[in-house]
Structure 1
Amino acid sequence: MSDSLSARTTRITGHGGDEIEAYLARPDGEAPRGGVVVIHHMPGYDRATKEIVRRFAELGYDAICPNLYSREAPGASPDDAAATARAQGGVPDERLVGDVAGAASHLRALPTSNGRVGVIGYCSGGRQSVLAACHLDLDAAVDCYGAFVTGTPPEGFPLKVTNLVDQLPGLRAPLLGLFGVEDRFPGPEQVAELEQILTAEGKEFEFHSYEGAGHAFFSVDRPSYNVPAANDGWERITAFYAKHLGG
């Protein structure tokens, strides 16, 4: 674990060859290490997400977060960019996969890369983490309370999103899922359905659900923050990535 790191805004090649903004954090030193792609939540490419990127660098990984709203609202504040993206139905799945692929390639091209890359996402990013792991050659995936991996969006839901049930047989990476028992999207029944599908498909996964925790329990800047759940979740993420990414 390192307490010395650097972080900066950079540009990477995303879906379709588009150049998009990204936030990159790296621990000091030249030792080989794994990489982590952080997929931001629906509120956007914000300060809280960048803090998570730096935390992974502190844990010893090269970490990057692509700005998924670079095209809709370049230069806008996180709130304005998220509102623009939401009004357009959210990030298309195909484009998300392309942007994560570009971020993973950027990490693997760094001179410190050991070739292994994991992905993690929160809220909408949790679903997108699973989506990416169904289509890309990644070494580990973490789903933090991603809605609509299973289940059906309610009537009037603002995002153009479907579940991933038909894509789950293609999951290519070990999956860690962290959920709140008090959450509605995903609710415990949706988590149970996901567990049943992955078990039937013979996939490698581990799930943990926290009593008293609702949606967004990792969010330190929101009332939903749940200290015991978040602390235990970070311990499990740390152990999971150490096992699959090295470190």
Structure 2
Amino acid sequence: MTNAIVAGTVTISGHGGDQIEAYLARPLDGGSRGGVVVIHHMPGYDASTKEIVRRFAVEGYNALCPNLYAREAPGADPDDAAAAVRALGGVPDERLVGDVSGASVHLKGLDGANGKIGVIGYCSGGRHTFLAACSLPVDAAVDCYGAFVVEDPPEGMPKHMQPILHLAPNLSAPLLGLFGKDDRFPDQDSVAALDAELSKLDKPHEFHSYEGTGHSFFSVDRPAYRPEAAVDGWSKILDFFGTNLSA
């Protein structure tokens, strides 16, 4: 772990060359290090997500979270931005891939970058992580309770939130999946179906599901927070990135 970091808002080139806001945190000490793209959850580019970005910097990574809602609601309150984007159908898959690609390029251009990139996402960001890892060359991917990779979304979900299991043959990196056994989206049948498909394709992956735990168990500011699962999950994430993102 590092003793000092610097964090703040930057502008990166996202999908189609769009200039979008992103939150960057990086250690101040020297040395070679991997980069982590943090994909925010459906509630948006919020304070809790930025805290996760800073946590990765403390752990020794350059970390960057692109604001996926920057185009529709620049400078808006995260809740208002999320509502606006949801009403428009959510984030298009192609644009998500372009924004994550831009974030990866930005991280690789930082001083001391070792060229390796991990992607992690929560909630809708978990699905987006799987999408990104099946669409881009990355070195590690972590899906934290991402729904609608396998199952159809219920009525009322954004129109772009469609199943993407068919992309599994293109998965470019080892995948760590962290899930709650009491979650409805994804439920354990969906997790098992994804596990089976990746096993059939001989794609390296490691899934863990926690008892007495539902959705958003990493969210320290929500009633769904489950400390025991979150602490164990963080340990697994850091071990996984430590193995796959080292020089």
**TM-score of the superposed pair, with normalisation by structure 2:** 0.98
Does the 8 A contact of 2:93 with 2:160 survive in 1? no
Match of 1:49 in 2: 49
Inter-partner Cα distance in structure 2 for 1:226 and 1:195: 24
Q: State the 1:191 CA deviation.
A: 0.1
Deviation string for 1:190-221 (max 9, x for gaps)? 00000000000010000000000000000000
- Report % sequence identity: 63
Inter-partner Cα distance in structure 1 for 2:107 and 2:171: 21
Inter-partner Cα distance in structure 1 for 2:56 and 2:189: 31
SS of equivalent residue, structure 2 residue 238: helix
Deviates more, 1:152-161 or 1:4-13: 152-161
Match of 2:97 in 1: 97
Inter-partner Cα distance in structure 2 for 1:34 and 1:158: 33
Deviation string for 1:75-99 (max 9, x for gaps)? 1111110010010010000000000
Deviation string for 1:144-169 (max 9, x for gaps)? 00001111112333443211111111
Inter-partner Cα distance in structure 2 for 1:13 and 1:20: 6
RMSD value, Cα: 0.9
Q: State the 1:101 CA deviation.
A: 0.1
Is residue 2:119 matched to residue 1:119?
yes
Q: Structure 2: where are the runs of 5+ without partners?
A: none
Q: State the 1:116 CA deviation.
A: 0.3
Deviation string for 1:103-125 (max 9, x for gaps)? 00000011110010100000000
Match runs of 1:134-213 below 5 Å: 134-213=134-213
Inter-partner Cα distance in structure 2 for 1:156 and 1:55: 33
Match of 2:241 in 1: 241
> CA 1:156 to 1:44, structure 2 compared with 1: closer, same or farther past 3 Å?
closer
Q: Given residue 95 of structure 1, which amino acid in structure 2 is its aligned partner?
A: R
SS of equivalent residue, structure 2 residue 189: helix
Q: Given residue 194 of structure 2, which amino acid in structure 1 is its aligned partner?
A: L
Q: Given residue 18 of structure 1, which amino acid in structure 2 is its aligned partner?
A: D
Inter-partner Cα distance in structure 2 for 1:92 and 1:227: 33
Deviation string for 1:43-91 (max 9, x for gaps)? 1000000000000000000000000001000111111100100100100
Q: State the 1:30 CA deviation.
A: 2.1
SS of equivalent residue, structure 2 residue 160: coil
Inter-partner Cα distance in structure 1 for 2:193 and 2:80: 35
Q: Structure 1: where are the runs of 5+ without partners?
A: none
Q: How many residue pairs are counted as aligned between the two chains?
A: 247
Inter-partner Cα distance in structure 1 for 2:26 and 2:112: 10
Inter-partner Cα distance in structure 1 for 2:26 and 2:41: 21
Does the 8 A contact of 2:127 with 2:147 survive in 1? yes
Deviates more, 1:90-99 or 1:151-160: 151-160
Inter-partner Cα distance in structure 2 for 1:2 and 1:44: 27
Does the 8 A contact of 2:48 with 2:219 survive in 1? yes
Match of 2:70 in 1: 70
Inter-partner Cα distance in structure 2 for 1:152 and 1:105: 32
Task: Kindly report structure 1 stretches of 4+ aligned residues shifted beyond 4 Å.
Answer: none
Inter-partner Cα distance in structure 1 for 2:112 and 2:163: 36
Q: Given residue 112 of structure 1, which amino acid in structure 2 is its aligned partner?
A: G
Match of 1:20 in 2: 20
